[in-house]
Structure 1
C-alpha cells in the first residue's frame, strides 16, 4: 500500500497507575515493548510516526528509536499534562501541521491488527467502534489543530469533544478483542 500524507500517532504518555508499570515500556509475550509493537503496526501506512510520551519517558524513547528517522518522539508539553490524551495530540500537532491526516492509536491496545488500521485508513475522519463501546483513541483524523485549540479554549478536555467538533463518525468493527485496551496486567 502506498504511504499517503498520513502521520501515525501513538499516545503513550499516560501514567499507567493501574497497570503498575509504564505500559509503553512493557514487554509483551513476543518480547517487544508495547511502544515498539504499536509503531510497527502503523509503519506500513505512515511515512512518519509520532510517539507521544511524558517527560519521564522521553530520554529512554529518544535513545531507543534514535536510529529510525521515521519515528519522532514528542514529549507532552508541560502546560498540557492535565489534559490527558489531548495533551499528546496537542503536542504532536505543534510539530506535525504539514500532514493531511493522522492515524491515531493508544499504547494499550496490543491486539489491534494492521487489517483494522488499514480499514480505518480508508475512512477519513472516523473512529473505531465495536458493539460494546466507542474507541475514540483509535481514529483517522484530519488535521485537527484549529479544532483542538477551540475545544481546549472552551475548557473541554475529552477526546470525544474534539471528535464532535471535527464531525468524526464511528466506524463499526465486529472483532471486539482486537480493540481491548489493557489497564491492569492480570487482564493480559
Structure 2
C-alpha cells in the first residue's frame, strides 16, 4: 500500500556537528546554506516543510519556516529529532500517517526520495528508510506518526540512541537507491558532509551535478 495522502517533511538540523567544528546547517555550499539546500530539495516532495533545530535558524530571505526543538534536549541525537518531528506532525498535520525526515548534511539526496520510500510502506506502522551502495541512511526515512508514543517510551526507558537499533526493532523496510551516473563516474546521492574536506569535495561535485 503505497502512501497516497499528504506527507509532511522535516529537515533535521539539531546535530552537534562535532567533526565539523561548527553548525553544519549554516555551512554554505555553492553560496547556499546547507539547511536551505535541504529545504529546497525536500519541498517539492512533501506537502509541507518544517525544521527541527535546538537553536535559531537563519533562513534565506523570504523562506522562513516553522522551527521546533527536541522535546527532551538531554536525549538528543537523530532519534530525538525524529520524535520531535512526529510530535509536530501529530499536532499540526493530524491527517498525516507518516512524516518524512532528511538531515542537512547530505545536499544531493534523491529528488524522488519520498515517492520511492512511500511505495515501500505496506502497513500504517511501517517505517521505510533509504539505503545505497555505501550502506544504510536511516535518517532519510518515512516515520509512522502512530509510533510516536512507542519512540518516546524507547528513549525515556534508556533505549539505544542509534537509529538503526530502533529501525530493526520495527522491521523497517530498506529502499535501495542507485548511484547517480556522472561524467566523473558513479556518485552516491547520500554523500555526507562531516568534515571540511567533505565540504571541499561537495563543492567539486556540485559543479558536476548541477552544471
With the length of structure 2 as denominator, give the TM-score of the two structures.
0.75
Shift of 1:36: 0.8
Residue in 1 aligned with 2:75?
82
SS at match of 1:139: strand
Residue in 2 aligned with 1:129?
131
Structure 1 spans left out of the alignment, 5+ residues: none
Superposed CA RMSD in Å reads 2.2
Map Cα deviations across residues 81-114 of structure 1 (whole Å, 9 max, x no partner): 4331112122222222122111111111011121
Map Cα deviations across residues 94-140 of structure 1 (whole Å, 9 max, x no partner): 22212211111111101112133432233233111123311111112
Residue in 1 aligned with 2:22?
21
Shift of 1:174: 2.2
Return the alpha-carbon distance in structure 1 between the equivalents of residues 76 and 173 of structure 2: 22
Bigger CA radius of gyration? 2
With the length of structure 1 as denominator, give the TM-score of the two structures.
0.83
Tell whether 2:162 aligns with 1:158: yes
**Contact 2:17/2:194, CA 8 A, preserved across alignment:** yes
Number of residues of Structure 1 aligned to a counterpart in Structure 2: 178
Q: 1:8 to 1:180 in 2, by over 3 A?
A: same
User: Where do 1:1-188 residues align within 5 Å?
Assistant: 4-29=5-30, 31-55=31-55, 58=56, 60-61=57-58, 64=59, 67-68=62-63, 71-77=65-71, 79-97=72-90, 98=94, 99-124=96-121, 125-143=127-145, 144-156=147-159, 157-175=161-179, 177-187=188-198, 188=201
Structure 2 spans left out of the alignment, 5+ residues: 122-126, 180-186, 202-211
SS at match of 2:113: helix
Q: 1:68 to 1:27 in 2, by over 3 A?
A: closer
